[in-house]
Structure 1
Amino acid sequence: MNQTQRRRVTFFLPLLAACVADSRWPRIETQQWPAPMQDVPGAFESSSLQGVVLNEPGFEEVLVLRYGDPVQVRPAGETASYPLPFHDKEVQLKAGSLVLCSPGGKVEILWAGGTSIVFSGRTTGLVGSPSRGEPTFAFVELESAILDLRYGDQVRLLGGALISAEVGPLALERLNSNIMRIENQSKADARIMFREADVHLGPGEEIHLPLLSAGGDPWTGAFDDGSTSDAIPLNWEGDAHVFGEAGGVRVVPGGDNEFRGLGLRMQLDAGESFLLHGYTAAGRAAPAPEGWNEPGAPVKPDVDVVPEPELESEVWVPVDTAPSGGEQASAGGGA
């Protein structure tokens, strides 16, 4: 074997070894820019939104636009997601679909009414169906997002809180594992329902919401008097009635009860009540019925109680031991 043949064998031996070892040397990627997307296992946990948004096609449709890679979508009714490549950057989806954005990606979701949600980074969410009683959109994971909402839209934030507004934009940002920042960049108020709190965020204002292990879903017992959208921040167990009074709302229990809210936890006995000041909706609430605070009828015992006989009281008559005036006179005459 001459020197030229030895050089050829020496050159091809590493290539042959690479093919046998399944190395990446002999492979050629035709897509140079952007790089192919990689799956992100475990980025979406469906159990966190179980019962909130169904994985079934709804009536509403959205348009998903991919601005930066990687972005994946899972159509409603499907069990697996697929990436949006650079040559097919938009897709129409029905309510119930999943949109997943990984670090470095950016995506926008458009609704027919003008609603828009743009998010980037590690952010995931589900398109809801308001016709089924679901929120317009529900976040599962959040890094950064911009909401441009319209009247009637309601978005479920990370942790379960609900936000609604008639205009946008509203900026969302997850500061750390326990805090989420919300900034109202619009010219109108935004409403946030977090547990028992009903917060109205004015233009230019921002709020930091804690991400609690117990969740931030609005309490189902946080009640409203039915006249306005201003909710009373209370949660209760048992029966309760709300009546309007001058300057506030009076809450009257109807039996066994426990009230929680505003940092308090209390139980009221029969005939007791409490007044909440500062609620404008109280003026249109039903007036309190007459006699609500009057004592009820005495409770009849289960066993007949025989009253004890009363003892006759002894009458004590004071006795005057001093001599009368006549006796004193006769005694003086005898002397």
Structure 2
Amino acid sequence: MNSSPVRALSWTLPLMALLAGCYVSTQRHPGPMVATVDPLPPGTTTQYPAGPEEVLVLRIADPVRVRRPGQAADFPLYFYKKQARMNAGSWVFCGAGGRAEIILGGDASVRFLGYGSGVVGSPSRDEPMFFLHEVETAVVHFPELGQQVRLPGGAILAGVRGPFVIEREHDDILRVRNRSKSVGRLAYMDEQFQLSPGDVIDLPILDGSTAPREEDPGFQTQTGVDRQISFRGDVTLIPNGKGVRISATGENEVLGHGLRLRLEKGQEIWVDDFVTAAVAVAPDPVVPLPVVLDTNEGESADSEDAQDNSGSEDNK
């Protein structure tokens, strides 16, 4: 009689523990995060749609990952599968110490040396052939017909063949080197730069976009040696020396050197051609002075040697 309560308790405790497991979570504290937005935003899955162009991505050194257009997950390229064919709109990620090359066709290619990421563009949609988002060092080869590459920040680099080297010199400085035999063109905000073979230019990476600005038909443009200023409204531009004086006589707007200015009536500013560099003059060659041997010193030395020899013979 006394064993029945004990037996009932032995069956009740496991049953209670089993029922409690249906309501108790074994997840460690804190629990999993709950999405505040449902469904989640598409992110970059719709930013770069798939295009008809096809490229070949080669993994040279780990780590390299790729993502197909329209997908939210990427996959790595392992040592036993070092290449993948991707369509326009695909992402390419290269980790620190990794190396990857994207062969775009027509002798065009983009090579990542170190950390970097980018998206394959679709020239059939009037896009650049490649979008560089993050870069440590990248080497770009253009096709013979010429194409464009979008740099981090939005600037557009165009050229024929290559190579053009893009380096992240600092957190906010991007360096572009022209190592090709042809002239490259760089569109940065409202400036157009020509990169001759061997030229190097440093571009600031601003918080806003550095993409080329479309020309407004309402603006007039004054172009100098290294100056391009656009203006509209009641404003007068007077070139003077190595700059221009801008005087406002009413409502106006002035664009130039990456600045957008609105002057009040009666205000004046001076814009200096700070990008104009003086032509370096080669110094005159240094002509070495002729070397003249002093014969008197040689004769005196010979006479002293002769006297020493004669003195030594007399001593003997």
Task: Tell me the amino acid that sits aligned with residue 113 of structure 2.
Answer: S
In the alignment, does 2:70 pair up with 1:80? no
Residues 253-298 of structure 1: CA distance to partner in whole angstroms, max 9, x if unpaired? xx965221136735699xxxxxxxxxxxxxxxxxxxxxxxxxxxxx
Counterpart contact for 1:74–1:82, Cα < 8 Å = yes
C-alpha deviations, 1:116-135, integer Å up to 9, x for none?
A: 11112110000011111221
Does structure 2 retain, via aligned residues, the 8 Å contact 1:122–1:142?
Answer: yes
> CA–CA distance in 2 between the matches of 1:64 and 1:237?
48
Look up the match of 2:117: 124
Amino acid at match of 1:169: P
1:70 maps to which residue? Answer: 63
1:215 to partner: Cα distance: 2.5
- Asked whether the equivalents of residues 196 and 261 of structure 1 are also in contact (C-alpha less than 8 Å), the reply is yes
Gaps of 5+ in 2: 1-41, 221-226, 234-249, 266-316
More strand by share: 2
Deviation, 1:237, is: 7.0
d(CA) in 2 for partners of 1:203 and 1:217?
A: 24
Quick one: distance in 2 between partners of 1:155 and 1:137? 5
In structure 1, distance between residues paired with 2:84 and 2:67:
11
Cα RMSD of the aligned pairs, angstroms, is: 4.0
Counterpart among 49, 58, 77 of residue 56 in structure 1? 49
The aligned residue for residue 148 of structure 1 is: 141
In structure 2, the partner of 1:133 is 126
Aligned partner of 1:259 among 251, 254, 261: 254
The reply to whether residue 198 of structure 1 matches residue 188 of structure 2 is no
Q: Retained in 2: the 8 A contact 1:65–1:108?
A: yes
Shift of 1:222: 6.5
Shift of 1:170: 0.5
Q: If the length of structure 2 is used for normalisation, what is the TM-score?
A: 0.58
Instruction: Measure the CA separation in 2 of the matches of 1:237 and 1:135.
Output: 31
Q: Is the 8 A contact 2:253 2:260 kept in 1?
A: no
* AA aligned opposite 2:164: L
- For residue 169 of structure 1, the aligned residue among 163, 166, 171 is 163
- Taking the aligned partners of 2:161 and 2:264, their CA distance within structure 1 comes to 43
Q: 1:222 & 1:156 partners in 2: Cα distance?
A: 22
> How far apart, in 2, do the equivalents of 1:54 and 1:134 lie?
13
Give the distance between the partners of 2:48 and 2:137, measured in 1 at CA. 24
Identity between Structure 1 and Structure 2 (%): 38
- Contact 1:196 1:234 (8 Å CA) reproduced: no
TM-superposed CA distance for 1:203, in Å, is 0.3
Match of 1:185 among 164, 179, 182: 179
5+ long unaligned stretches in structure 1: 1-45, 226-231, 239-254, 270-335
SS in 1 for 2:124: helix
The corresponding residue for 2:203 is: 209
- Alignment partners' CA distance in 1, 2:162 and 2:90: 23
Q: Write the letter of the residue equivalent to 1:261.
A: G
Structure showing greater radius of gyration is 1
Residues 161 and 83 (structure 1), Cα distance of their counterparts in 2 relative to 1, 3 Å cut? same
**Count of residues in correspondence between the two structures:** 215
